[in-house]
Structure 1
Amino acid sequence: MKKVGLIYGSDTGMTEEVTHTIVDLIDVDIEVIEASVVSINDFSRFDQLILGLSTWYDGDLQSDWENFYDDFKTIDFTNKTVALFGLGDQYGYGEYFIDGVGMLAEVIIKNGGKIIGKWSTDTYDFTESKAKIENEDLFYGLAIDEDNQPELTQERLEKWIGEIEPLFN
């Protein structure tokens, strides 16, 4: 079994909490790295990755991911499998809901990576999202809304992990 790198950024601690829940639920060997200390070399150590972040304000990346974004755009994702999860507020920021997931996904795809764990948009009420796959009712990754739907987080995580876990073995 290969080791999976889980890289996340968290300003308020919510993404960190979701990360810990993922680590507790998934049955794969995971190395967790905070985006505040990640390097390009960390990405080269893994063929399989889980990336997590929140979206801030008017579609901005979480601060640690924003600081690393120029370097992130240079990473070669060829032969890498990547699952994404994002936190956002679908009502307060409905026109930017989990945009960070879409911003990272765009780079991963452009740089040769394969994205797994796409997630239905059905149970969300948002206006726009860079994370929504064009002409599909799917996000590039799991959408978590702790502001408006915290009661659905555990169920969503369990279902999403059930979908991605077999792909990491």
Structure 2
Amino acid sequence: MTRIGIFFGSNTGNTRKIAKMIKKRFPDDERIADPLNVNKATPELIAGYDHLILGTPTLGEGLLPGLDADCQQESWAEFLPRLADVDFSGKTVALYGLGDQEKYPDNFADALGELYEFVTAHGAKVVGQWPTDGYDFIASKAEIDGEFVGLVQDLDNQKMLLEDRLETWLLLIAGEFGWVMK
């Protein structure tokens, strides 16, 4: 049975919170693994999944979380190079990211764009593009042709939209992951 892996990088715990919210929507679905921080993951573990949900915050002025971004622990910045030899061909990947559109409007959710560039360069099929409507930013590496490459959450300025956006996005990717949403 195909299992779905949920992996995240985090600094403050918000990306982890969303990963847990995703898993909680499907408590009885044994195909969905418990969310795991990438600082505890291995390339072999990631390679073992056909379907992945990957989450990242954007830190400072467009950085992936990691030691260079003043995180206390390693994260995506250190883990992506370890994934360099993983072939993502045949894998379906949904991405979500966090950013602050008011404080960092020039590089809003840029780390999500970096994650997207990495997995697509390694052959992944990315699903779950998200509209940019309702956001107020200047530029984002996560935007392609007027859409974000995945779900974007701004918990600093739009926390009240978290639940609705997440639910709508999960419905959007459900078919790609073989989920039946009620």
TM-score range, shorter chain: over 0.9
Percent sequence identity over aligned pairs = 38
Counterpart Cα distance in 1 of 2:80 and 2:176: 26
Paired residue secondary structure (1:86): strand
TM-score (norm 1): 0.94
More RCO (CA 8 Å, sep 6+): 1
**Higher share in strand:** 1
Unpaired stretches in structure 2, ≥5 consecutive residues: 67-74
1:43-85 per-position Cα deviation (integer Å, ceiling 9, x unaligned):
1110100000100011110120111121233321100000000
1:156 aligns with 2:165: yes
Q: Who is 1:68 aligned against?
A: 79
Query: Which amino acid in 2 is paired with 1:71?
Result: R
Q: Which of 46, 49, 53 is residue 50 of structure 1 equivalent to?
A: 53
1:14 equivalent in alignment to 2:22: no
- Whether 2:32 is the aligned partner of 1:30: answer yes
Query: Which whole-Å CA distance do the structure 2 matches of 1:113 and 1:66 have between them?
Result: 19
Length, aligned pairs only:
167
Distance 1:38 1:67 in 2: 11
Letter of the structure 1 residue corresponding to residue 169 of structure 2? W
Query: Amino acid of the residue matched to residue 115 of structure 1?
Result: V
Which runs of 4 or more aligned residues in structure 1 lie more than 2 Å from their structure 2 counterparts after TM superposition?
26-29, 72-75
**Partners of 1:25 and 1:161 within 8 A in 2:** no
- Tell me which of 108, 116, 119 is aligned to 2:130: 119
Q: 3-state SS of the aligned residue for 1:30?
A: coil
Distance 2:129 2:61 in 1: 23
